[in-house]
């Protein structure tokens, strides 16, 4: 081989080596950049997820404060039914039922006696609905008090209730059962 062919092969080898080196450097930077964008994407998703979790935590805290136990809600409805301008003593005692209840034992006994009187009162000012409310309220007061004690003892949890229909759904149009 002559010196020209050696020079051509050396030049060609240098070009191929430079191309291979350029390819490796390009591949390195591509993977580095792709890893960086993947990391940035993960960080963005992480931040969005943390914001969502924070929002859900705040909403759950609001639900924990705003959800009124069923007995307390029923108690409020019955109190509304029984509250009248002409019974200030009973109204003031029912206002202390809360939540939270601030009735003393003596006041609770007095309220129960007033409710019993309202239940048997046959005057025209009292409707049958009020008599029923006066009859039901003592049991609801006991229940609301028990729920308040239970809620104070434990952390409230959100529970879901599923209602399953006893009626089977109709067959679809294609005849699948």
User: Is 102 part of a structural domain of the chain?
Assistant: yes
Question: Per residue in 50-79, pLDDT tens?
Answer: 999 888 888 877 765 555 667 778 888 888
Question: Per residue in 4-51, pLDDT tens?
Answer: 889 999 999 999 999 999 999 999 999 988 888 888 888 999 999 999
Contact present, 75 and 97 (Cβ < 8 Å): yes
Q: Are residue 28 and residue 76 in the same domain, yes or no?
A: no
Q: Are residue 33 and residue 53 in the same domain, yes or no?
A: yes
Domain with 23, as residue range(s), is 1-67
User: Is 171 part of a structural domain of the chain?
Assistant: no
Q: Are residue 75 and residue 141 in the same domain, yes or no?
A: yes
User: Is 166 part of a structural domain of the chain?
Assistant: no
Q: Are residue 78 and residue 147 in the same domain, yes or no?
A: yes
| Cα→Cα distances 139→102, 103, 132, 142, Å | 17, 16, 12, 5
Q: Are residue 109 and residue 46 in the same domain, yes or no?
A: no
Contact present, 148 and 72 (Cβ < 8 Å): yes
Which residue matches tokens 């350029």? Answer: 22
User: Is 158 part of a structural domain of the chain?
Assistant: no
């Amino acid at each position: 081989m002559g010196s020209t062919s050696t020079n051509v092969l050396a030049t060609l080898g240098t070009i191929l080596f430079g191309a291979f080196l350029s390819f490796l450097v390009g591949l390195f930077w591509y993977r580095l950049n792709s890893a960086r964008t993947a990391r940035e994407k993960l960080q963005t998703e992480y931040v969005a997820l943390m914001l969502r979790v924070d929002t859900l935590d705040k909403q759950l805290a609001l639900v924990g404060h705003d959800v009124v136990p069923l007995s307390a809600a029923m108690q409020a409805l019955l109190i509304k039914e029984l509250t009248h301008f002409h019974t200030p003593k009973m109204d003031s005692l029912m206002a202390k039922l809360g939540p939270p209840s601030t009735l003393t034992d003596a006041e609770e006994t007095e309220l129960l006696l007033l409710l019993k009187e309202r239940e048997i009162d046959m005057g025209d000012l009292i409707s049958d609905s009020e008599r029923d409310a006066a009859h039901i309220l003592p049991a609801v007061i006991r229940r609301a008090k028990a729920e308040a004690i239970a809620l104070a003892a434990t952390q409230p949890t959100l529970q879901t209730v599923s209602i399953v229909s006893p009626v089977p759904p109709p067959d679809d149009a294609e005849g699948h059962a």
